[in-house]
Structure formats: structure tokens, C-alpha cells
Structure 1
Amino acid sequence: LHPDGSPCTLAVHPFSCASPVRSLLHSPCTPFFFTSLLRSPVKNTTNLFILNLGVADLCFILFCVPFQATIYTLEGWVFGPFMCKAVHFFIYLTMYASSFTLATVSLDRYLAIRYPLHSRELRTPRNALMAICFIWGLSFIFSSPYLSYYQEFQLANLTVCHPIWEISQRKVMDICTFIFSYIIPVLILSLTYVRTIHYLWRSVDPLQDMSESKKAKRKVTRMIIIVAVLFCLCWLPHHLVILCVWFGYFPLNHATYVLRILSHLISYANSCVNPIVYALVSKHFRKGFKKIFICLLHKKAANKVHVAQVMNTVSTLEAELSEVTHVSEALPGRSSVRCRVPAQPWGEAELVGHQQKADGSFITFNVT
């Protein structure tokens, strides 16, 4: 709900308008991100988990950010009771999916580096897909209470989408969300990555340290650690604001209102920076992105050349048609010639003639 006073509302617009802009900037990168992973020659568990993280980011940006931005720009809720429940459900569904995926991929990286041989039977694409299904199922269970947490109702001649649970129930729910979606995943991330880094930098085998496989594992682990740290930093202000509301002093005024919007924007930014991290850190992602981009440019150039060839063919046929028309005037009876251009650009055009016989009937012939 908006706090009293118009100055607070005016200060909100620049921040709230930034959310759709971030969405538009991020959305074009997402198909390239997915295609780069899908075209990767190695369909390993890490690629599948990163792909799942990208799916969660895309769902969050498409189904959550645009609707949430209107809360701070419009006077009331205009999307109906179903979207009131669905939007907040998807917010927490994707948040849980992202945190659980990061925790799972941290375990995957630890096993891949610490026990590369013994973990091969466990770290298979099939098991990774099963783990992804389990992640989304668990995320659905944890976020399902938010289907009844929010409801659309009338308040002071305005339609609003606001929590309807009792304050004590809301407090318990928010604390549980903080514990299961943030504290526990962060603890898992911290424990696994500390042990992983310790093993990588304290390895005593110099030949293994110089191997290409070891270097590749270090780069992938570094990328995942950066993504995990960004997740922790981006979602921390959101959870701190909620905790301050329940356990601290958080009055409704201009400063706290802007602070709450900033916490939302920082959490939204987490879904936008992940592809940037992949592009900066992962050499394979950059190569895949470059290949896709070059293919699109070549395809566009080839289409232009083909269209030019078709236009030249049509122009040539029109010139021939003009000559044939003059010749047809000398034929007995009335005759006409027209150019038939195919509907598809890759088809062949042909000249078709019609001549009227003495008895009034027509004959059709092809002009070659």
C-alpha cells in the first residue's frame, strides 16, 4: 500500500520504471543463453543446472517484474484476483527454484572436483534432470501457501492486492521463507565452496594442477561462485527489510518507502546479471553466443541476396513478357501472356499465355 503523501509517490516513478527496462535488456540475451547451452557439445550436469537457473530467471522477469512494477506506479491493482495470487506465487516459486538450484550446483561442483572418479555414476544427465524436477516440486510446495497469502479486495474506493493473513501468520510465513529460501541455501553454498576452494588451492599434485581439465574446473567453479555470491548479495536487502518490518523499527515514510523499492530492484537485478557473468567468465558461452550471432547475420545476408536475385528474375521476365506481347499481336485471334510468380521466393517464375481460337475457346500455353 502507498504511504500517505504525494511526494513519496513522485519519488517512486524513476525506480519503478527501471524494472521493465531491465526486463527488456535482459530478455534478448536469454534466448542466446539457452541456445548456447543447448548447442554445447557437452551436455553435463553443470550445463543442465545453469540452464535451469536461466529458466527460473526468465520466468521471474516475464511473470513477476512487470506486474510488481505497477504496484508502485498505479493507484490500484488492475489485473484481477487470479493474477494477484499468481504473481506473488511465481515470485517465491522462482526464488526458491534459484536458491535450491544454486545449492545443488555447489554440491555438484564439489563432487566433480573433490571426487571426480567416484562421482561419475552419480553426476549423470539423467540424475541431474531428476534433481531439477525435485527442485521445482520442492519449490512448488514451499511457495504454494502464497496462493492464499494475497487477495484482491476493495480499500477506500481502490482495488488493491494485499496480504489477508493474520499478522501472526504472516510473521511466521516470512520467517520460514527467509530460513528455507535464503539461510539454508547460503549455508550449503558457503560450506561447499569453502571446501572446494580449499581443495583447489591446496592440491599437492603439480601435474594435476597444470592439466587442462583442472583449469577448466577452476573456471567453471569460479563462475558458479560469482553467481552464488551475487544471489546472496542481491536478495539480502529484500530479506533484511522484511525482518526489520517484523522485528525492528520500520515506519511508513518517504525514506523507508524508497528503501523498500530499492530492495525489490536489487533482487530483480539478480536475474539480469547472471547472463552477463556467464559471458564474462565462460569462454564456451562466448563462443556459443558468437556462433549463433554470426549464423543469424549470415542468414539475414543470404535472405537479402536471395530476394535481390528473385527481383532480378522478375524484372527479366517482365522484359521478356513485353517482347512476347508484341509478338502475340501478330497471332490469329486474341492472345495474351502473363507472368506467374510463385508464392515462395525459392520457386521458379514462368510465363503463361492464353490465345483465343476462331470458335471463341481459349488455349493455354507456357512461354519458354
Structure 2
Amino acid sequence: MWRLRLLLLWALMLGRSLGRSTQAPSDYDETENPTGDEGGSTVSLLPARPRSFPGQPCLNDSHTLRLSNGSQQLLLGWVPTRLVPGLYGLVLVVGLPANGLALWVLATRVPRLPSTLLLMNLAAADLLLALVLPPRLAYHLRGQRWPFGEAACRAATAALYGHMYGSLLLLAAVSLDRYLALVHPLRARALRGQRLAAGLCAAAWLSAAALAAPLLMQRQTFRLAGSDRVLCHDVLPQDAQLAYWRPAFTCLALLGCFLPLLAMLLCHGATLRTLAAGGQRYGHALRLTALVLASAVGFFTPSNVLLLLHYTNPRHGGWGDLYGAYVPSLAVSTLNSCVDPFVYYYVSAEFRDKVREGLSRRPPGGATASKASGEGGGPAASGTRSSSLL
């Protein structure tokens, strides 16, 4: 009899042990019933995977995602619904007219030198970045409610990242052009030309398009459980995130941001050494080159560092809610498109004269033909002329 009791007790203990091992709660387990069915049985969800905000797919409804209370407060707080649209609005108010006017002046009143082509493409990228912001602006102002549908969400996300990283790649191309003109003026006579400039522009646009293309391939609109909000990209399902979104954004940050920034550091670093060796007469060009480099690093580095950190460990207690800081830092990155026209174009008195000529509808004056900016303050030799206003 005692053997039978011992056997029953052992079986009971084994069953409890198995029950605990198969239902060990993860960081995302909930005690309420996710399906809304009666009975309120506890359902153990999948382990943590990386995503934008750490959300949970609702059972029997793959288009609805659940958020923890902390993540939901970050998603719907004043930062994404007030600060972020304010920053995007600033890009529209300042960047749109500044880049539009700069592009028009470069296209109509500046000699078509190789660097003119690079600067025209940079102004176009910054202008297009401002033009794709209104849907995102409306989304944030509506309290994270996307009204335009799935296809528009994919296109808006890809366009935002594509034009922003395209602008950064073009900044790297401009820095290479300045490096050749100022550090290797004799070699630049053979290397710098329309073919090189066109090749750099084409490479920048094609690279940006290739990096942004994965953002068009996956669904990005999901309803937030318990609300009427349709989210665009801010919360993504866990099953696709580990295998798809993490490598996509890792490539975007490494190849679209840190590689161009490294190229800018190398090129501008060598340019700064050359200008510094020229003495006091190149002080203005030296300060302006340092400002260009500092603005690119300052605007783009924080958001991409946060992006990489977020995707390394998205669990609660790890970097999971860093996306709440990444959203405003991404908006700050777009402000670089407002700075570019002032540090590349309007800083030059010559360019401002051309703007006034254009606005007053006067024909371009031959006496104000574009001088080399690096030439206008740097040690570039004749024959390396450029309309770049560095």
C-alpha cells in the first residue's frame, strides 16, 4: 500500500515540475486572457524578440498588437505626439524653402562644374526629405493614428530613411570632392570631372534605394489592442522581427550612416590638416569645414547608435524601450537637412548675391562667376574650380 502511495506522490510531483517548465513565464507573459474569451486562462506567449516597441500579437488576430504599459506610455506620450511633429514641422518650414531656393540657384545661376552637380543632388535629397514628411507629421499629430493605409505606410517609411541616408551618402561624396580639390590639387585636375561627380551621385542614390528597399517588403500597419489607433511601423510583430527587421536596420545603420561618416572623418580630417598648415588666411575655411563635419556627426550618430543598441537586446530590462528615445532622435536627424543649405550655400556672400539676383529677376552677372570655395580659402591650385561653398 505504501508503495502505491509513494508512486502516486512521485507522479504528482513530476506533473507539477513539467507544468512549471512548459509554462515558465517570459518577459511578455500576461495573466489576462489575450483573446478576450471567457474563462480567463493564462496563455504563455512567445519569448522576447526584437521589434520597434516590444509588442505582442493577439491570438486569432494577427493585425492587432499588444503593448506593455510602459511602452504604451512612451508611444503615446508628449514626445512622439508633440515634440516629434514639432521637429518635423521645423524641417518643413525651414528646410523646404531653403533647399528649394538653393537647388534653383544651383541649377540656373551657377556654372555646371563637377561639384555643382554634387551640391544639386544634395539639395534635391534634402528637399525630397522635407516633402515626404507631411504624412509622418499628420500621423504623430493625430496621436499615432495612421489614416493612409498599408501601402502608404511602407512608402513613407522607405522614403524617410532612403532620402535621409541618401543625403548622408551625398555628404560623403561632397567631402571626397573637397578632399581631392584641397589635399591633392594636381591629381584633382585629372580625377575631378563630370564623370566622377555623376558616378558618385548615382552610387549614393542607388545605395540609398537598396538600403531602403527592405522597408517596402513587410507589413507595417497594426492596430493597437484596446484602442482605435492604427500604428505605422512603431510596433512590429515578433515573428518577423528577429529574422527580417534586425538585419535590415543593422545594414541601414552600418552602411548608410557609419560608413559614410567614417569617409567624412577621413576626408575632412585630411582637409583640416591641409587648411591648418596654410596659416591664418584659411581660418574661415577651417572653421567651416569643422562645422560641416561636426553637424553631420552630431545629427546622425545618436539615432543610429540608439537603433543598434535597441536591436541588440530588446527585452524589458535590456534595451527594449530605447525605441522611445530613438523616435525623437530620428526626428532630430532630419534637422540636418535644414543645416546643410546654410553651411554649404548661404554662408557664401557670392551665393547670397546670386539668390538676390534670382529673386530680383536680374540676369546672372559674369563678374560673379562661381569661384572655388576651397579655392576661395584653400590651397587648391587653379584648374580645380568648384561651386562648392566650403
TM-score (norm 1): 0.67
Query: Residue type of the partner of 1:201?
Result: A
Which deviations, in whole Å up to 9, do the C-alpha atoms of 1:257-294 show, x marking residues without a partner?
Answer: 76334312211211112122235532222121222233
Write the letter of the residue equivalent to 1:161. C
In structure 1, which of residues 200, 223, 232 is the aligned counterpart of residue 275 of structure 2? 200
In the TM superposition, 1:99-178 aligns within 5 A as: 99-156=168-225, 158-162=229-233, 163=236, 165-178=240-253
Between stretches 190-199 and 49-58, larger displacement belongs to 190-199
> 1: CA distance between counterparts of 2:302 and 2:266?
22
Matches within 5 A, 1:181-200: 181-200=256-275
Distance (Å, rounded) in 2 between the aligned partners of 1:6 and 1:46? 44
Could you tell me which residue of structure 1 aligns to residue 84 of structure 2? Answer: 16
Distance 2:297 2:182 in 1: 23
Contact kept in structure 2, 1:237 and 1:263, CA below 8 Å: yes
Shift of 1:29: 2.1
Find the partner of 1:60 among 116, 129, 141.
129
Of 326, 329, 341 in structure 2, the residue corresponding to residue 260 of structure 1 is 326
**Deviation, structure 1 residue 158:** 4.1
Q: Which moved more, 1:234-243 or 1:144-153?
A: 144-153
Q: Quick one: structure 1 residues 76 and 171, their matched pair in 2 at CA, closer, same or farther if it must change by over 3 Å?
A: same
CA contact (8 A) 1:109 1:221 kept: no
Match of 2:138 in 1: 70
Distance 1:140 1:104 in 2: 16
The 2-side partners of 1:145 and 1:221 are apart by 39
- Structure with the greater alpha carbon radius of gyration: 1
1:23 offset after TM fit, Å? 0.5
Distance 1:7 1:115, change over 3 A: closer
Provide Cα deviations, 1:95-131, integer angstroms capped at 9, x if missing partner: 2311221222211111112222332232112431232
Q: Contact 1:95 / 1:181 at 8 angstroms: preserved in 2?
A: no
Q: Secondary structure at the match of 1:66?
A: helix
- Counterpart in the other structure of 1:236: 301
Q: 1:170 to 1:7 in 2, by over 3 A?
A: closer
Equivalent position SS for 2:230: strand
1:196–1:16 Cα change, 3 Å: closer
Distance 1:192 1:22, change over 3 A: closer
Could you tell me which runs of 5 or more consecutive residues in structure 1 were left unpaired when the two chains were aligned. Answer: 297-368
| Distance (Å, rounded) in 2 between the aligned partners of 1:107 and 1:274 | 16
Runs of 4+, deviation exceeding 4 Å: 5-8, 218-225
Shift of 1:70: 3.4
**What is the rounded CA distance, in whole Å, between the counterparts of 1:53 and 1:291 in structure 2?**
22
Query: Is the 1:39–1:288 contact (alpha carbons within 8 Å) kept by the matching residues of 2?
Result: no
Q: Residues 67 and 278 of structure 1: is their aligned pair in 2 closer, same or farther, counting only changes over 3 Å?
A: same
C-alpha distance after superposition, 1:31-90 (max 9, x if no partner): 321122123443222222121111111111111x22223343334221112111111111
After TM superposition, the structure 1 stretch with the greater mean CA deviation from structure 2, 153-162 or 284-293, is 153-162
- How does the TM-score come out when normalised to structure 2? 0.64
**In 2: Cα distance, 1:59 partner to 1:131 partner:** 19
Q: CA distance change for structure 1 residues 276 and 150 in 2, over 3 Å: closer, same or farther? A: farther
Partner of 1:334: none
Q: Distance in 2 between matches of 1:7 and 1:147?
A: 23
1:232-273 per-residue CA deviation (whole Å, 9 max, x = no partner) reads 211122112212322353354xxx676334312211211112
Secondary structure class of the residue paired with 1:42: coil
2:112 counterpart residue number: 43
Structure 2 unpaired stretches of 5+: 1-52, 54-66, 363-390
- 1:290 equivalent to 2:356? Answer yes
Q: Trace 1:342-353 onto structure 2 (pairs within 5 A).
A: none
**Structure 1 contact 89–147 (Cα < 8 Å) conserved:** yes
SS of alignment partner, residue 160 of structure 1: strand
Size of the aligned set, in residue pairs, is: 282
**Residue by residue, what CA displacement relative to the aligned partner does 1:8-46 show, whole Å, maximum 9, x if unpaired?**
534543313312243123222223211221234432222
The answer to whether the Cα contact below 8 Å between 1:219 and 1:282 also exists between their aligned partners in 2 is: no
Q: Which letter does structure 2 place at the counterpart of 1:69?
A: L
Distance 2:115 2:251 in 1: 29
- Cα separation, 1, equivalents of 2:80 and 2:209: 32
